Amino acid sequence: MKIVTTIEEIKKEIDLKKKEGKTIGFVPTMGYLHEGHLSLVERAKQENDVTVMSVFVNPLQFGPNEDYQTYPRDIKRDEELARQKGVDLFFAPTKEEMYPEEPAVTVKVTKRVDVLCGKSRPGHFDGVATVLTKLFHIITPDRAYFGLKDAQQVAVVTALIKDLNFPIEIVPVETVREEDGLAKSSRNVRLDEQERKEAVHLYQSLLMAKEMVENKVHDQEAIIEKMRAYITEKTSGEIDYIDILTYPDLKKPNALTGKIIVAIAVKFKHARLIDNIIIDLT
């Protein structure tokens, strides 16, 4: 595995691979890698000749009161995990390398962002779309891999690639979970022992909603209220949102048909956890 820290050098490495006729799979991350990230690497390695991973904690996607400074970082550990998984090129630029000065141009996302996490994090997905636009131009991958744990991000990136005509295939990968069902996340380390036990109930509430939908319960508010009561009873967390939307358009459905997403976010003392389940009713 080759570790690269500058844009100039990673572009040279990619150019060499492309001249050899090799396909490029790209896994963009913010580091502090876990099995979810590594499952993206496994998929990328299956489908491409060269796998590139980036680790960059992007300041543009953090709001003024969010956790940019305290976001977990361990670049040496990330390098070792990436090496073990067979990443070919490990791109770890500094903030100064990616943003040598305040950007004069950024990307504005106008749809799929006024719900779920985007509703309480204005500008977040503008930051995501801006950094991914930069990374897509730098890496020029054939395929880019994203975990469905953040299904709203997948929906936004799908629109970004389509609307800006990037010649890239987006590959969504199923959420990787702990044995008890908790979605793997870099923020799970911030849960205390009791919160960690409670956190499993996020996924349990989603399974409960899925069962109701599959049993022809069409009252969306009834499903949401049952989930809300369950989470309130089983956890000490504060519910940020529970919602049912079409996917990937992320609009309020008139009826439970087609592809829908049931999504939840819960705030614990030092961690905000998200999870979702996508149900195909076609």
DSSP secondary structure of 10-59: HHHHHHHHHHTT--EEEEEE-SS--HHHHHHHHHHHHH-SEEEEEE---G
- Please check whether residues 195 and 244 belong to one and the same domain: yes
- Please check whether residues 121 and 257 belong to one and the same domain: no
Domain C-terminal end among 173, 197, 220:
173
Known binding residue 30? Answer is yes
What predicted TM-score, i.e. pTM, was given to this entire model? 0.94
For the chain, which residues score pLDDT lower than 50?
A: none
Instruction: Report yes or no on 248 lying in a domain.
Output: yes
Instruction: Report yes or no on 64 lying in a domain.
Output: yes
Known binding residue 226? Answer is no
Known binding residue 127? Answer is no
Instruction: Report yes or no on 281 lying in a domain.
Output: no
Known binding residue 54? Answer is no
- Please check whether residues 42 and 140 belong to one and the same domain: yes
pLDDT at 193: 96
Known binding residue 9? Answer is no
Residues ≥6 apart with Cβ < 8 Å to 239:
228, 231, 232, 264, 265, 266, 267
How far apart, in whole angstroms, are the C-alpha atoms of residue 38 and residue 6? 23
Q: What phi and psi values does residue 199 have, to the nearest 5 degrees?
A: -60, -25
Instruction: Report yes or no on 59 lying in a domain.
Output: yes
- Please check whether residues 30 and 159 belong to one and the same domain: yes
Instruction: Report yes or no on 178 lying in a domain.
Output: no
- Please check whether residues 31 and 116 belong to one and the same domain: yes
Instruction: Choose the catalytic residue: 37, 124, 201, 270.
Output: 37
- Please check whether residues 139 and 208 belong to one and the same domain: no
> What CATH number is associated with residue 6?
3.40.50.620
- Please check whether residues 69 and 139 belong to one and the same domain: yes
pLDDT at 39: 97
- Please check whether residues 36 and 128 belong to one and the same domain: yes
Instruction: Report yes or no on 66 lying in a domain.
Output: yes
pLDDT at 258: 95
Domain C-terminal end among 120, 139, 173:
173
Count of the separate structural domains present in the chain: 2
pLDDT at 173: 97
Instruction: Report yes or no on 181 lying in a domain.
Output: no
Known binding residue 20? Answer is no
How far apart, in whole angstroms, are the C-alpha atoms of residue 200 and residue 178? 9
Instruction: Report yes or no on 125 lying in a domain.
Output: yes
- Please check whether residues 113 and 236 belong to one and the same domain: no
Q: Give the residue numbers spanning the domain of 241.
A: 186-276
Residue 37 designated active-site: yes
> What CATH number is associated with residue 266?
3.30.1300.10
Domain C-terminal end among 125, 148, 173:
173
Lookup: tokens for 146? 């994203």
